[in-house]
Structure 1
Amino acid sequence: KTEKDKAVYVSAVFSALENYIEIGNYKSFSAACIYADPVRTYFDTDYWATLAMIKNRPDLVRNAILTLASGIKENGECPAGITFRLQSRTPSYYDSASFFVLMVYDYINRTGDLSLLNETVGGKTVYQYCLLTIDKLSGYEDETSLIRKPGRYNNRDWADEVNRVGYVTYVNLLYARALDCLSRIVGTRDKPRARRYHGMFLKTKDAINRLLWDDEKGYYINYKYGDFVEDNLSVDTILAVLFGISDEKQTERLLDNISRLLETRNNRDQQAGDFGVMSVFPFYRGVDRCSNRSSREYSFCNGAAWPYWSALVAYAQLTHGRDHTYALTSPFDWCVKRGIYTLCKYYSPFFPHEIVPLDTANSVFAFVYDWQDADFFCENEEVWKTKS
């Protein structure tokens, strides 16, 4: 590692450990140092933090999973997150259930600790919560085998200042991965049910690649709602590469276009100069699509750089033999030049005052370094006893 690599790594690990809090039965990675009124955690933030901690502090990952399980409702709905009082803070989000199952799977896949599934929280086991919450989410599937976010105004996923409705590629990539992971989890106890989840996974994966891939553009659309298609390139579609949803040709084209359109050093059509990896490009269309900060181009979910997504792009590039240095280090460079020594939540040259320091999700940079010699998302066949 270079001195810069060491600095990025230490900063990332610090982002997770500094935000890990234990208050009674609440033991989790809180979202950021400024989110203290009340102290709270989110399913998505916790997932990215657990990737960073799973190699060296799996005990903290286990605690976070049990804490989040307490936030799953009786009907299986998952809110965006929970407070230190173990109360849900928001309505159900369409990515939270998937993140929970991914967290359980990744923990077991890398530790072999199947006993987690028997841990009881609020009268149910972790295994039961996995089934309950994905079965609830699958109720939003329609005849296409895709999750359909209902309503004209529905901002309930990580990009919560954008009304991404209908078929959202990001939501469905997570859902497909969750079905695949759940089939492995259930396969330890109920083979017929496991085969059913695996069949659902294959159908959703096929639907993503048939209905949400734009072959002319060479990437997945952001979302489609009726006749409206938001066909900008969203950084969160990098999950297709990480989760093995895209085929080889799609993977190469998607990586090419992320470099061409989202890496600002290569994109001369955007007007903010070289500042990192954008969250989307082109910007969102439609006056009622975005709200608050995201109603402005280059701000928040509408084109700002989000370091943790940049790290995930870097990992995808790394595992496919590409130069990943820019995506991995440009957020750190930007922050350090401005006297910020822990990676901020998001940033934009046009809105430099919008700084949220010490964001937990950015700990995922440590994950990139920890797993640079292996594909983290590959199945551990010995754990799941799937080795032929």
Structure 2
Amino acid sequence: MKNIIVTTALIISISITGFAQQGHKLAAQIMADKQLDTVYTKATALLSKGFNAGDGYPQVWIRDFNTFIETSCKVYSRDSIRTNLLTFIRLQQPNGEIVDGYVLKGHVTWNDPNIYTSPNDKSHVGFKNTVETDQETSLIQAIAKYIRVTGDKSILQETIAGKTALQHLEISISYLLKNRYSKKYHLLTGATTQDWGDVQIEGGAVVDVDENTHWAIDIYDNAMFVIALNDMAGFYKTGTERQKWLQLKTTTISSIRKHLWDAKKHKFIPHLYLDKSPFPASFDENKIYFHGGTAVAIEAGILSKNEIRLVNQDMLRNVKLSGAPSIGLTLYPIYPEGIYKNSSSSKPFIYQNGGDWTWFGARMIQQLIRYGFVKEAYEELQPMINRTIKDNGFYEWYGVDGKPNGSAAFKGSAGVLAKAIDQLKEWAKNN
């Protein structure tokens, strides 16, 4: 018996030593990777130029800003960043909602009949893609990230229109609970879009809710909600307010697991419809796998480590089947062309219907690192690093043919890549 115990202990010791050696080797490889340094330098150079989403987007969007604010805080004026965050609060509407973004008055470059104004900001006008339900949660997350990087908690006590910024954030959640919440399912609602996208499948007003809209519940909006609720709780050290947000977070995660997570297929269902689906009965939408929303769900802490492992395997399988360059693949299988008669958003592997977005793919890389899948993260990051260098830009999205599309200076792509590289370097330093 003693010999068996000794042998077992020796095997365990050898295994631990082997894993440690592999970790040291990977850490050395990461630290020596000059391509990571090149991309990081390019990313910080781009993010030092301001807050608009990209060269094709003169507006400041909160969903984009939220994904590159951490690196911006390292390379840009913190006072300017604080001012930009507070501008979203100054443009908050009387009903509590937060706009998607803003521009200076007189600088509107698109034909939008729904321009948002506020007596609290005389210099800017806002806009909002109402099919989405991530504006309020994006702002909360962005402010939380700003505080974590800068230590500037005073932003929460900035007074605007007689209320603190923190009170305005509370009001924004009240807006969601009143206008975008299903009491039946205890989850946020929105229009039917492709994964995290802000283009409704039915066409019509395209980015705005209209008579064509089919109301639904999806993982992206609700995962963003969970992250924001956790951040709200973090704004309070103790007290009933902190517990209120933590309880709502717990309820939301439980409802997500109950209504959206398919444990047998280890995937989230695309949509839970409040009334009826916009698709014909012959179309099985539940075959579609949403990559982006799943990555955000992992960030929200909704999945276990084993579920993350299975999800990553699924994403890699989808990438191989589709021919896409990376796990930034939005979704797979794609929505068939013409699946809804009024839709212009179902072209195969175009834009949000199967385009490959570093903006979300690198978020999955971040979570793989966070949960200990560092080898997988480093390997799966390579296609994004390689194409950034090859194409000399941070493109908005890629086709399955590997060709870049959209803005060539998309700050969202730069921000998520920079953060993933930071995480890899930090891991390597400690291993």
Same fold (TM over 0.5): yes
Equivalent residue for 1:247, pick from 287, 299, 304: 304
Distance 1:3 1:200 in 2: 44
The match for 2:394 is 343
Q: Tell me the distance in 1 between the aligned counterparts of 2:268 and 2:291.
A: 10
Number of residue pairs the alignment of both structures matches:
349
Structure 1, residues 62-87: CA drift from partner, whole Å, max 9, x if none?
23312222232121112221113321
Mapped contact 1:79–1:88 kept (Cα < 8 A): yes
RMSD of equivalent CA atoms: 2.7
TM-score, normalising length from structure 1?
A: 0.81
Which deviates more, 272-281 or 112-121? 272-281
CA distance in 2, matches of 1:30, 1:100: 15
Residues 104 and 280 (structure 1 numbering): CA distance in 2 closer, same or farther, change over 3 Å? same
Of residues 223, 227, 232, the one that matches 1:177 is: 227
Name the structure 2 match of 1:26.
none
Name the CA shift for 1:275/1:220 in 2 (closer, same or farther; >3 Å).
closer
The equivalent residue for 1:81 is 101
The aligned amino acid for 1:16 is L
Alpha-carbon separation, structure 2, partners of 1:354 and 1:290: 24
Q: In structure 1, what is the equivalent of residue 91 of structure 2?
A: 71
Deviation at 1:284, TM superposition (A): 2.2
Residue 32 of structure 1 aligns to which amino acid in structure 2?
G
Q: Which one is further off, 66-75 or 351-360? A: 351-360
Q: Please state how far the C-alpha of 1:222 moved relative to its aligned partner.
A: 2.4
Q: Secondary structure at the match of 2:328?
A: coil
Deviation per CA, 1:20-65: give whole Å up to 9, x if none: 0xxxxxxxx1111222xxx311111010111323455571542331
TM alignment of 1:183-332, pairs within 5 A: 183-185=233-235, 187-188=236-237, 191-225=239-273, 226=275, 228=277, 230-231=285-286, 232-236=288-292, 237-261=294-318, 264=319, 267=320, 269-270=321-322, 272=323, 274=325, 277-284=328-335, 287-288=339-340, 291-292=343-344, 294-322=345-373, 323-332=376-385
Residue 159 of structure 1, aligned match among 188, 197, 200: 197
SS of the residue corresponding to residue 125 of structure 2 reads coil
Identical counterparts, % of pairs: 20
The separation in 2 between residues aligned to 1:233 and 1:89, in whole angstroms, is: 30
Q: Which residue of 2 aligns with 1:386?
A: none
The structure number with the bigger radius of gyration is 2
CA gap of 1:273–1:259, structure 2 versus 1, over 3 A, is: closer
User: What is the Cα deviation at residue 98 of structure 1?
Assistant: 0.3
Please state if 1:129 is matched with 2:172: no
TM-score, normalising length from structure 2?
A: 0.73
Measure how far apart 1:353 and its partner are: 7.0
CA distance in structure 2 between the aligned counterparts of 1:144 and 1:234, rounded to whole angstroms: 20
Following the alignment from structure 1 to structure 2, what is the Cα–Cα distance between the partners of residues 100 and 6? 30
* Deviation sequence 1:207-265 (CA, Å, 0-9, x none): 1111111112112122222565743221221112122122333222222222222xx3x
Asked if 1:370 corresponds to 2:422, the answer is yes
State the partner residue of 1:380. Answer: none
Query: 2:114 maps to which residue?
Result: none
Instruction: Tell me the equivalent position of 2:56.
Output: 34
Which segment is superposed worse, 239-248 or 301-310? 239-248
> How far apart are the structure 2 equivalents of 1:183 and 1:333?
39
**Shift in Å, 1:159:** 0.6
Contact 2:194 2:352 (C-alpha < 8 Å) held by counterparts: no
- Aligned to 1:77, the other structure's residue is in SS state coil
Distance 1:353 1:8, change over 3 A: closer
In 2: Cα distance, 1:166 partner to 1:202 partner: 21
Give the Å deviation of 1:307.
Answer: 1.1
Q: Distance in 2 between matches of 1:206 and 1:96?
A: 23
Aligned mates of 2:392, 2:324 — CA distance in 1: 22
Mapped contact 1:219–1:253 kept (Cα < 8 A)? no
- Label 1:289 to 1:326 Cα distance change in 2 as closer, same or farther (>3 A): farther
- Pick closer, same or farther for the CA change 1:118–1:91 going to 2, 3 Å: same
Structure 1 runs, 4 residues or longer, greater than 4 Å off? 55-58, 153-158, 226-229, 273-276
Q: Which of the residues 51, 74, 77 maps onto 2:70?
A: 51
- The verdict on how the C-alpha distance between 1:297 and 1:147 changes in structure 2, with shifts beyond 3 A counting, is same
